[in-house]
A and B are shown apart, each in its own frame.
Chain A
């Protein structure tokens, strides 16, 4: 009986009710009065209150009781539940600190219906599995979902969006404890999704902070992805996506964009992706992208580019990286303009002496030319590829000669008269002052 107490929609009898009409109405009125004296707030239509001491003390019960478009208010407390399936359009709102503890028993919440909103829950202890990608919250085949202000801890996968569209993932916090790649999951994963907005999330210590596979027209904005084992953000086979104003810090590697078209990358910060195989941004088989206004700071490699064509790099700042830009081959018709290269060990590295990319109007902190006509552009072209970086590309072991006097000498002589580095790889109009 107590379970039905909270169910206060007058039109329809509760699930599988067998009350005769009159008796049902009577008992409802009776229970209503009872209820009102106990918990007055419950009297809203379409609202189910869940709390550890209430009549409905588990999410699963509440979902079973609810009808489409109801709101579930989840009171403060810990709910030890897993494999909760939301199969109708519902809004779940936490009131106070509502913790759902999956007790490491598999998936915690699975959304299988359209228009589901989850707001403010705390989900923890997702079961780790080597055969199933268990998630704290999984969205399957749904439209118009919203996941907001959710805190996730003790993770395998965090939010897993599967074949879903037109959703919003906003202001969530995901804190994993990942140690190894093989037994950890991703923070936010999008698989075959369209038109999803991922904004304001904080993702830490998982495998990939945000991972996109076969997902188009996704907007990723204002997120922080830090301390992840593999990538901060990872694109695979995803087209027409945008990511802006995100911060990628101290990840195994910052962002990997692979096999994707028409990606726009604006105003992101890539910091401290430092380690022998680390980079800020990896581009592999990327065409027609735009990379503007980003900051690359203290990465081993700022951008590593492979097989990527027709990309515009504008107004980025590369500061204190090992390599600012490492071009690994098969990169054509890219333009680098108006960027600032500040104090990188190597500004640009090339592994061939053919060049089809354009450098123009960048600021190079190593530039030692002059500007007699005072138009802000240096009169002497700048050659961003040092001989040493060319040699290191050819024979990686030669890096042991880093910072030796001999290398400084031959770099200087190559600068004066280039022999090995690509002839036309010059910035003809290097800026005298910083662009940004």
Chain B
């Protein structure tokens, strides 16, 4: 597995796209910090970018990579190797290189502007952790989609639709149900709704760490009570882990059964 991981990883490290991705974040980080020298404000702006772009890029990249390395995969399948190892190796290769681009791309400019001396370091750390989780989750989901759809167009379509659903449509439905049931106490419902979507969960986790959480008012207080405690933080990390683990488990299951 590690050999395959290494192959995928080095393959990606040599490819143009990881560099584009890395340079994009590098430029974004430097630009944000150049425009407003305030680290904590830059973290807020960065959050907006991360919760939208990281899942999208992870999804597209995952699907693309899987389809592109199809022949290589088939070659590997002919070898005396465990199937789960082949796919997991590829998956971690892709997800790892994406995470590395994210962390380095954003980390370098922030360190450059004095992150270690700033109080924003924990917020920034949380931002990177959620960004990493989102990469892992959405790469796994896209691998699943690509594995179960031999048709590239279909696979791409589903993958984009999945991103669209979690990033936009889910919030729309969430909003609709909140308005429909406004006569009922909605605190626990909104808490559950937030926990179920990894993008919403990441957004809320970061928002609550920032000053802006005062805007959330009463509901925010309920949220803070939940996420502010250690149990709440553990639960939300658990949910993120679950979101990562379930697609990976499904991937291995599918990989074992799939007829190539």
Find chain A residues with CB under 8 A from B200 CB.
Answer: 400-401, 404
**A37 CB-CB contact with B under 8 Å:** no
Nearest B-chain residue to A395, judged by Cβ: B182
Contact of A400 among B168, B211, B214, B219 (CB under 8 A): B219
Residues of A within 8 A of B174 (CB): 401
**Which listed residue (A276, A395, A404, A406) contacts B221, Cβ 8 A?**
A276
| Given contact pairs A276-B216, A322-B215, A409-B168, A403 touches B221 in the complex (Cβ within 8 A) | no
Chain A residues in 8 Å Cβ range of B48: 403
Measured between beta carbons, the chain B residues less than 8 angstroms from A402 are: 207, 212, 215-216
Give Cα distance in the complex from A391 to B177, angstroms: 13
Q: Enumerate A382-398 residues with CB–CB distance to B below 8 Å.
A: 391, 394-398
From the candidates B190, B204, B214, B221, name the one contacting A300 in the complex (CB within 8 A): B214
CA distance A403 to B167 in the complex (A): 12
- Chain B residue numbers with a CB within 8 Å of A409 are 168
Query: Range of interface residues on chain A?
Result: 20 to 34
- 0/1 per residue, A250-279, Cβ < 8 Å to B? 000000000000000000000000111110
Q: Whole-angstrom distance between the alpha carbons of A1 and B48 in the complex? A: 82
> Which residue of A345, A400, A403, A406 contacts B190 across the interface (Cβ within 8 Å)?
A400
A419 at the interface (CB under 8 A from B): no
List which B198-229 residues lie within 8 A (CB) of chain A. 200, 203-204, 207, 211-212, 214-221, 223
| Complex Cα gap A147–B171 (Å) | 59
What residue of chain A has the Cβ atom nearest to residue B219's Cβ? A397
Complex contact B190–A275 (CB within 8 A): no
Query: A405 is contacted by which of B168, B186, B190, B218 (Cβ under 8 Å)?
Result: B168
Instruction: Tell me which of B175, B179, B220 has the highest count of chain A C-beta atoms within 10 A of its own C-beta.
Output: B175
A397 and B215 CA atoms in complex are apart in Å by 12
Interface mask (B159-191 → A, CB under 8 Å = 1, otherwise 0): 000000001110110110011001000110110
Could you mark each residue 310-354 of chain A with 1 if its beta carbon is under 8 Å from any beta carbon of chain B, else 0? 000000000000110000000000000000000001000000000
A residues in contact with B179, CB < 8 Å:
391, 394-395, 398
- A397 touching B187 in the complex, CB below 8 Å, given contacts A403-B47, A403-B48, A404-B200: yes
A409 vs B204: C-alpha distance in the bound complex, in angstroms? 19
Residues of B within 8 A of A323 (CB): 215
Q: Which residues of chain B come closer than 8 Å to A25, judged between CB atoms?
A: none
Verify B218–A396 contact, CB threshold 8 A. Answer: yes
> Do the beta carbons of B214 and A406 come within 8 Å of each other?
no
Q: What is the bound-complex CA distance between A122 and B190, given in angstroms?
A: 54
Cβ–Cβ contact A397 & B178, under 8 A:
yes
CB pair B167 A405 closer than 8 Å: yes
- Contact at B168–A399, with CB atoms within 8 Å? no
B residues engaging A (CB < 8 A)?
47-48, 51-52, 167-169, 171-172, 174-175, 178-179, 182, 186-187, 189-190, 193-194, 200, 203-204, 207, 211-212, 214-221, 223
Which A residues fall within an 8 A CB radius of B? 274-278, 300, 322-323, 345, 391, 394-407, 409
